Structure 1
Amino acid sequence: MALVLPPLDYTLSPYTGLAREHWCAYADYLLRSAHRFGTEDHANIHLPGANSRYGPRSDSLEAFARTFLLASFRIAGDPSATGWIAEWYADGLDAGTNPANPDRWPTPGELGQAKVEAASLAVGLALTRDVLWEKLPGRVQEQLIAWFETVIGEEYPPINWVWFQIVVETFLASVGGRSSGEDIDAGLAVHDALYRGGGWFADGPERAYDHYVGWAFQVYPQLWALMAPNDPRVAARKKLDGDRLAEYLDDASHLVGANGAPLIQGRSLIYRFAAAAPFWVGELSGHSPLSPGLSRRAASGMLGYFARHGSITDDGLLSIGWHGEFAGMKQAYSGAGSPYWAAKGMLGLALPADHPAWTAVEAPLPVEVADTQRLIAAPGWQIDGTVADGVVRIRNHATDHAVVGALVADSPLYARIGYSTHTFPDLSPESRDNAVVFVDPSGRLTHRTGFEYLGSFSEDGVQVGASRFTAHWIEPDPDAGPDHGSGVSGTATPGPSVTVVSITRGAIELRLVRVRSEGPAAPLRIGGWPVDASSSVVSSVRAVPGFGRPLDTSGTFVRSGAHPVGSELTIPWVGTSGTAHDGDYAAVVVLAGDGGASTDAGVTYADDHFEFPDGTSISLEQLARFHG
């Protein structure tokens, strides 16, 4: 099989060239390629690759359900041309829920992961009700209802999973099955309890902010509303959920780079262009504050980015990885079918061809219009996008997938000081990657997780954010459990108390560090951005002359071997040649792409003021709230 695309359309889509026909071609190619690994009865898709911790029965259901979600979008938006898709999945829906089939699916009552996949099946059936559900034989409808009904009364973890129960039971109610209003109300209560303001949700009690805010907490409420437009709950929540989505999308549009990549941060990154889902659901629901051309620009940028960088294998499959295959990104719940939650990012295919999201001319992303600055309160992120190189960066002072005071290892995808659209984090928990760390005699580095967020503000053209933590070494617990995003637990040895302040303007961060030795003293390292040795983006770290204690040594850490976006990771750093003494330290940390800031860009200090290369300055008095 080969992917055949129509010519790129730079009249309609001046930034990506991608129109609806290209999206359809990618979707059909992904579906046909996955079907080659389906069983004869189509109930299970056994994709090549490693199994998740839940085993092959779970993984083959996952592959069916997630590709079915993609299929449902395709059918809903173009029912007359997708009969072949509907027929293929109709057979599998029958075989998968037939109790007499020895290869039937495990029910949600039997397997936790089936609770997740049931939601994709329910949403897909609701979107294709006229085309698929209503044409299924009564026997098959009854089988599906019985299979779905095993979710009733089941326990769901109080995270984004509550939506899986809500949408399944809502679908059951719409087709005459049993359902529990108490389950739905309890799930909605959990959802609201996780709201942190400004359109942002935490995925649980920890400071877990990531793409689940968009592809789960914002997408499911809108799909649920489409599934049950006459439900009084939907009517009561319509404005609330719509306003939350609008606020989130306004932020999310600032987190896409001109290269098309979403912010590279958080767990489940193997879902790749699922990050496009909230942009499409904004158009589908009518709650987007963005122009239709901007929504499609963001979504098409993501699809184009991953297509260019090898996310689709030669077999037409989505691999576990970011660009291409990278086994190191596999988490405990990742099977070969897991990456197909990228299907959420193709939600726009449910919109008809004449919808403005498809007919409007692409509009530029915020970072393609001008330099951007934005503070997002809930996750403690300060965004700096630069139009010259299209890079979007965040500095992070309130997200670590933990709670304040936790002494665990840093999660590489949550706890770094910086993330961007052009760099992939070093996946080792101990790292100089965007770090302020101390080195013990054996070479072990400290962690910052459990830090206290001190706040942020914007003033006179610069953004400032700060956090305080007890640097600690971790001896990992060999029985720490599966990786679901949090840092590894273990035995902690406290080190110095550290306050870090990030003062940013565009590509340049002035990183101030105050050290108070409350534990073992050790040399200090201030690390810059991780870049591949062959990358066009460049990273540098330099000391600020004349301020505080000296940073009198420097170097570049090199991690040889494949990583998600290349083959050799490099991280520049500055530090102390001996023990770091109590006091203040300052470094300039730069990440710049082609045409962007010079890595030689410095920040000068004189008369109690720091001055950026363009003359913008900030005084110590303005920073006193953090460094006082």
Structure 2
Amino acid sequence: MHDQLPHPDPAAPYTGWGRKDLESLADRTLLALRPWATPGHARFDLPGPASGAGPVSDGLEAFARSFLAAGFRLSGASDDPQDHAGWYAAGLRAGTDPASAERWPLLADIPQTRVEAAAISIALHESRSWIWDRLDAATQQHIIDWLVPSAELRYPDNNWRWFCNVTQAFLRSVGASHDQQLVDRNIATMDEWYLGKIDGRGGWYRDGAAGSIDWYNGWVMQLFSLWYCRMSAGVPGVEELQDRFRARLSDYLSTAVNLWGGDGASLFQGRSLTYRYATLGAPWAGAIFDASPLPPGQLRRLGLGGVRYFVDRGAFDDSGLLGIGWLDQFEPMRQSYSGPGSPYWSSLGLAGLVMPADDPFWSVPEEPLPVEVSDVRGAIPQAGWLVSGTLSDGIVRVINHGVDHGDHEDPLYGRLAYSTVTAPLADAAEVADNQVVLINSDGSVTDRSGFDLLSAEDQDDLLIASSRWDRIRCWSAIRGCVEVRAVRLQRADEDQAGRMLISGFAIPQQPRPGARSGLVSEVRSLVGDGSIVAVRHPTANPFGSQLLINQVEYPKPAADTWHVVGISLYDADEQPEISWPSVTVESTEALKINWPDGTEQRIGN
């Protein structure tokens, strides 16, 4: 698909893209959907299995999420040569007319429609002069009637509260019935999920009171909060609200910018990853709302490069459709709420199009990402994450001691490490990637769900984090491409403990097109009597198949004894050799790490 995009922008030495390329991508994405439209254009009935909400809801989902892209495309446009406005106006008529055979499910009937109502509301706001202002009064009323129940329905206690608020904001903007008190309550509730500042770092939310931390933090909690303000211009108090949200987004981007690799790849962690370049919604919002500590050239490089990463790696099939997957199509990424239209939530990654072609942003030359200038390292204490990116290969690694997913172990949340170039193994008989597990004498295996974050610190450029679960306490220190993972059993259960396994990253021996081919994840026993075991899993993940996981096995691990492993992740095509640290046991409570650059670091109690 990218082969047919315009010629490289001279101000884009890193991505080769400019605004015209993003505009062209939006056009081609929208045009590829039209052959799948119902006669009245109210749905796109795309091929593939239905979600749990059913095929009619899925068809609405494809319409609404692609309409979001059309709204961004039209917002900053001086013309509409593809008649996106006419196409989607027809769909709005057919979808909301009570007498239409293509009438959409009501918001009260299928909860998923409440998400799509939010996308439609933002799209209507952005395309107001192209669509809403040109609709006949009857169609406008039908749309209002379809959206109005959003004030009466229960939205879950998570990011969906913002879906309610932007829907209410659109209704208010057209003089329709709305509930400002509900909006204010939703904002107050979501403020309770904001995690504040720790060690000067802020900008992070939980997705609900007991929710997890993932990309929803950026593409909903950050972006939608500011878009609500954009849709509420002139409403009393909204300027102060926007200032608060701008500050939070700026804080978020100051650390989140390091979650993209030098190749534009986003961190592979959390749910709904088939939305792909929706991850760029927050950086685009930083540019649109002047809410970023990053220079405009770096935001431009991030926004365009992050989208192009997926376009160049098979996200679109031969007919131009976005399918379930990450690089190319990968059906196992489908979740219960995933339908054929779900990947079009990636439209959030096209939000930059609301800045018109004559906006100064588009004439600023690109500047490199932090990981393209030097190694990057830092802590995100709210998530219990340590972040390490390496200039040599552009890979970003995240060590995780703070995020899980409730009362069950979820590979997308609870692993000890993630990266921009690997994905976790979904299932394994004993041990998967980036785990520390005890295999008891009865064959049972410890579970990391519900673990406790103990620390996540960046002190004098030294990163360290720790967590505790079951009988295990684990510390991590990372520098460059190597993590030192130190483990101590907290209770003397020698009779139960058969062996302990500490594993590295899952590396495809048969990479998928567009994935890295030179990846290596070695493990070494630095303290203890561990032996190295290599396990090949005859399965696949979004980066490839035949997954190789190296691990260290400790037989009969004793309590109150250090077991320390070094784990690497690097691209041998870019960095052929690495140096390993040495570790000295100073006491039963403390270790000293001697890093190859001469830095010393102590961990433990």
Which TM-score band applies after superposition, normalised by the shorter structure? Answer: over 0.9
Partner of 1:550: 529
Q: Give, in angstroms, the shift of residue 446 of structure 1.
A: 2.6
SS of structure 1 residue aligned to 2:120: helix
Which residue is 2:181 aligned to? 182
2:509 maps to: 533
1:338 alignment counterpart: 342
8 Å CA contact retained: 1:540, 1:591: yes
| CA shift for structure 1 position 582 | 4.8
Answer with 607-616 or 133-142: which moved more: 607-616
**In structure 2, C-alpha distance between the alignment counterparts of 1:580 and 1:48, rounded to whole Å:** 55
**How far is 1:102 from its partner?**
2.6
> In terms of mean alpha carbon deviation, does 132-141 or 76-85 score higher?
76-85
The one-letter amino acid paired with 1:432 is A
- Map of 1:357 onto structure 2: 361
Relative to structure 1, the CA distance from residue 78 to residue 268 in structure 2 (aligned partners, 3 Å threshold; closer, same or farther) is same
Tell me, yes or no, if structure 1 residue 348 matches structure 2 residue 347.
no
Contact 2:2 2:312 in 1 (8 A): no
Q: Which residue of 2 aligns with 1:477?
A: none
Q: In the alignment, what sits opposite 1:150?
A: 149
Shift of 1:103: 2.3
Selected match of 2:565 from 587, 599, 603: 587
The equivalent of 2:20 in structure 1 is 21
Corresponding residue number in structure 2 for 1:480: none
Aligned match of 1:566: 544
1:564-607 CA-to-partner distances (Å, cap 9, x unmatched) read 11122111100124455552100111111243373563424376
Match of 1:614 among 587, 597, 600: 597
Structure-1 residue corresponding to 2:582: 603
Once the two structures are TM-superposed, the CA of residue 233 in structure 1 deviates from its matched residue by 3.4
Alpha-carbon distance in structure 1 between the residues aligned to 2:427 and 2:503: 14
Report the Cα distance in structure 2 between the residues aligned to 1:72 and 1:523, rounded to whole angstroms: 57
CA distance in 2, matches of 1:79, 1:216: 28
Matches within 5 A, 1:272-287: 272-287=276-291
2:600 maps to amino acid: S
Instruction: Give the structure 2 partner of residue 107 of structure 1.
Output: 106
2:383 pairs with one of 374, 379, 385: 379
The partner residue of 2:261 within 257, 261, 267 is 257
User: AA paired with 1:516?
Assistant: Q
Give the whole-Å Cα distance in 1 for the aligned partners of 2:286 and 2:522. Answer: 38
- Give the direction of change, closer, same or farther, for the CA distance of 1:424–1:123 in structure 2 (3 Å limit): same
Measure how far apart 1:395 and its partner are.
0.6
2:215 paired residue among 171, 194, 211: 211
Pair 1:293 & 2:269 matched: no
SS at 2:456's partner residue?
strand
The answer to whether 1:116 aligns with 2:115 is: yes
Gapped runs of 5+ residues in structure 2? 197-201, 511-516
Deviations 1:135-181 (A, max 9, x none): 01111001000000111221111110001111111111111211011
> How has the CA–CA distance of structure 1 residues 220 and 155 changed in structure 2, closer, same or farther, with 3 Å as cutoff?
same
Q: Which residue does 2:513 correspond to in 1?
A: none
Local SS of the residue matching 1:561: strand
Partner of 2:84: 85
Q: 1:54 maps to which residue?
A: 53
When normalised by structure 1's length, the TM-score is 0.90
User: What residue ranges of structure 1 are gaps of 5+ in the alignment?
Assistant: 403-407, 471-496
Would the alpha carbon gap of residues 461 and 286 (structure 1) be closer, same or farther in structure 2, given more than 3 Å must change? closer
In the TM superposition, what is the alpha-carbon distance from 1:27 to its structure 2 partner? 1.1
1:505 paired to 2:488: no
Q: 2:268 aligned with 1:268, yes or no? A: no
Deviations 1:11-69 (A, max 9, x none): 31111111112112211111011111001110110011111011011100000000000
Using the TM superposition, give the Cα deviation of residue 460 of structure 1 relative to its aligned residue in structure 2, in angstroms: 4.7
- Kindly state the Cα deviation for residue 444 of structure 1 after the two structures are TM-superposed: 5.7
Contact 2:386 2:463 in 1 (8 A): yes
Q: Distance in 2 between matches of 1:561 and 1:456?
A: 33
Between the aligned partners of 1:104 and 1:580, the Cα distance in structure 2 is 66
Identity of aligned residues (%): 38
AA aligned to 1:596 is Q
Match of 2:499 among 503, 514, 523: 523
- SS of 1:81's partner is coil
Inter-CA distance 125–281: structure 2 relative to 1 (3 Å threshold): same
Distance 1:196 1:518 in 2: 36
Amino acid at match of 2:592: H
Which piece of structure 1 moves more, 423-432 or 127-136?
A: 423-432
Does the aligned pair in 2 maintain the 1:207–1:398 contact within 8 Å?
no
Q: Distance in 2 between matches of 1:19 and 1:101?
A: 41
What does residue 244 of structure 1 align with? 248
Change in 2 beyond 3 A, CA 1:597/1:190 = farther
SS of residue matched to 2:306: helix
Q: Show structure 1 runs of 4+ deviating over 6 A.
A: none
Query: CA offset at residue 560 of structure 1?
Result: 1.6
**Distance in 2 between the 1:234 and 1:444 partners?**
55
Q: TM-score, normalised by structure 2?
A: 0.93
Alpha-carbon spacing, 1:388–1:328, altered in 2? closer, same or farther (3 Å): same
Distance 2:319 2:445 in 1: 41
Tell me the secondary structure at the aligned position of residue 237 of structure 1: helix
The equivalent residue for 1:235 is 239
- For residues 115-146 of structure 1, the C-alpha deviation after alignment (integer angstroms, 9 at most, x for no partner) is 00000000010111111100011110010000
User: 1:485 aligns to what?
Assistant: none
d(CA) in 2 for partners of 1:442 and 1:233?
Answer: 62
Contact 2:378/2:461, CA 8 A, preserved across alignment: no
* Match in the other structure for 1:38: 37
Q: Structure 1 residues 331 and 518, CA, compared in 2 at 3 Å: closer, same or farther?
A: farther
Distance 2:28 2:558 in 1: 57
- Give, in whole Å, the separation in 2 of the partners of 1:123 and 1:379: 30
- Secondary structure, in 3 states, of the residue corresponding to 2:152? coil
- Helix, strand or coil at the partner of 1:203: coil
Q: Deviations over 1:273-305 (max 9, x none)?
A: 000111111111121221111111111222121
Is 2:421–2:543's contact at 8 Å kept on the other side of the alignment? Answer: no
Structure 2 vs 1, CA of residues 461 and 183 (structure 1 numbering), >3 Å: closer, same or farther? closer
Between the two proteins, the alignment pairs up a number of residues equal to 586
